[in-house]
Amino acid sequence: MTMTNERPQAAATKGPFYATVEAAEAFGRRLLLAHGLPEQDANTVASCLVRADLRGVDTHGLQYLPHYLERVRRGLINAKPELKVERVTPMVGALDGQDGFGFVVATKAMAAAIELAREFGVGIVTARRSTHFGMAANYTLQALDAGLIGIALTNASPAMPPWGGMAPVIGTSPIAVCAPAGQEIPFDLDMSPAAAARGKVRRAARRGESIPLGYALDAQGRPTTDPNAALDGGVMQPIGGPKGSGLSMLMDVLCGVITGAGCAGDVGNQFLDYERPQNVGHFLLAMKPDLFISKDEYFARMDKLAQRVHGCALADGFSEVIMPGERERRFEAKYRRIGVPYNVKELAELQKEAAKAGLPPLPVSESPLASDAP
């Protein structure tokens, strides 16, 4: 195992390179502090980004940091918002994100929803004037850690047509829900209403890879495997046709229409719109799991659900049936052992960003930091 602080050369190795969780978080935190974020907010953003990498959601991980920092430098992300939740009713709050990091805005909104839920059983906090908040599961896991059911929704810039159309009107807006269990694995859903997250298409374009048919259409409305054609005037495809399209519209209703945030295609694209802030909207809900039945009964029933899912007879070609989020939890356990993997091209951009800020690079290893065996 060789640790290095040098920027890797693609000609030398294809990677991936591995970093410890602590090193990755510290690296991100240093860069964010250098761009004016308060320490607590820098910790929040870095932790959310690395948690996405740990769960195998690298489309929303540390590799996005150079892009976020560029938006900070351009004044499109406010490094120091003064966030305050306004109480709408005893159980509901609203938050003006002041163009701050979506990670910070959504974390504060969910923390407030958790406080309301502890007092009233259910808490809802919405946010407007926010920015991209990364992996939606960050905020449902926040509720799960508090022993609560959590729902985290956001809208996004237009990237997908309503079913039957070919122009981008709605977003690939994620839906995340967590529910605690007793002895079994919790329910831990994080999904996009698109056939694939748009980040997967951007990742394929960066790496010179193709995308599967069914992910996107090109600018002429034709199915494409070229990620650049999908990004250059093309659109993402909704999952399940009108079902995915309808879910995306629902995210726009709950996160855009009712919150005062951008909606109906008005959310700014963080990769294309450098003339204005995004005005993303979020909807965060926390709820006690034992509002209608006892806690013991709730846990027993959740465990029964997981047991029956795991015990389901297998369809041809499958070796197991797993719960939502179980795959991501396996990734996290693995990457905490062997290190967080980073692609050579994306790592080079991170190291370039550190050099630009006069900070030390991310220390990485050319091989896993420990055995891959569980």
pLDDT of 231 above 70: yes
Which of 167 and 129 is assigned the larger pLDDT?
A: 129
Look at residue 1 in the predicted model and tell me its pLDDT: 44
The encoded tokens of residue 205 equal 């374009």
The rounded distance, in Å, linking the Cα atoms of 359 and 173 is: 34
The rounded distance, in Å, linking the Cα atoms of 144 and 153 is: 15
Average pLDDT over residues 345-364: 97
Per-residue pLDDT reduced to its tens digit, 297-312: 999 999 999 999 999 9
Per-residue pLDDT reduced to its tens digit, 109-133: 999 999 999 999 999 999 999 999 9
Look at residue 374 in the predicted model and tell me its pLDDT: 64
Nearest-10 Cα torsion for 354, 357, 358, 364: -10
Average pLDDT over residues 77-81: 98
Q: Which residues does residue 56 pair with via DSSP β-bridges, in sequence order?
A: none
Catalytic residues: 132
Q: Are 195 and 239 in contact (CB under 8 A)?
A: yes
Per-residue pLDDT reduced to its tens digit, 256-309: 999 999 999 999 999 889 999 999 999 999 999 999 999 999 999 999 999 999
The rounded distance, in Å, linking the Cα atoms of 173 and 94 is: 20
Express the helix, strand and coil content of the chain in percent, nearest 5 each.
40, 15, 45
Average pLDDT over residues 204-208: 85
Average pLDDT over residues 302-325: 98
Q: String of b and e for 165-182 (b: at least 16 CB within 10 Å)?
A: eeebbbbbbbbbbbbbbe
| Domain locations along the chain | 3-73+339-365, 87-194+238-287
User: Nearest to residue 149, comparing CAs of 361, 360, 293?
Assistant: 293
The rounded distance, in Å, linking the Cα atoms of 236 and 148 is: 33
User: Nearest to residue 230, comparing CAs of 242, 214, 248, 243?
Assistant: 214
Q: String of b and e for 126-159 (b: at least 16 CB within 10 Å)?
A: bbbbbbbbbbbbbbbbbbbebebbbbbbbbbbbb
Mean pLDDT computed over every residue of the chain? 94
Average pLDDT over residues 61-69: 96
87-194+238-287 maps to which CATH number?
Answer: 3.30.1370.60
Look at residue 5 in the predicted model and tell me its pLDDT: 52
Helix (H, G, I), strand (E, B) or coil at 105: helix
pLDDT of 4 above 80: no
- Yes or no: domain 3-73+339-365 corresponds to CATH 3.40.50.12280: no
CA atoms within 13 A on the CB side of 123: 25
Query: Which residues lie closer than 8 Å to 366 by C-beta, 6 or more apart?
Result: 1, 2, 4, 8, 13, 17, 18
pLDDT of 11 above 60: no
pLDDT of 218 above 50: yes
The rounded distance, in Å, linking the Cα atoms of 284 and 110 is: 6
pLDDT of 14 above 80: no
Q: String of b and e for 346-360 (b: at least 16 CB within 10 Å)?
A: bbbbbbebbeeeeee
Ranking 115-119, 186-190, 369-373 by mean pLDDT, the lowest is: 369-373
Residue 148, φ and ψ in degrees, nearest 5: -115, 160
Residue 9 binned pLDDT confidence (cut-offs 50, 70, 90):
very low
CA atoms within 13 A on the CB side of 294: 3
Look at residue 2 in the predicted model and tell me its pLDDT: 46
The DSSP symbol for 288 reads -
Look at residue 3 in the predicted model and tell me its pLDDT: 52
Q: What is the β-pairing status of strands 92-96 and 122-130?
A: parallel
From residue 268, how far is each of 209, 242, 346 by CA, in Å?
A: 27, 24, 24
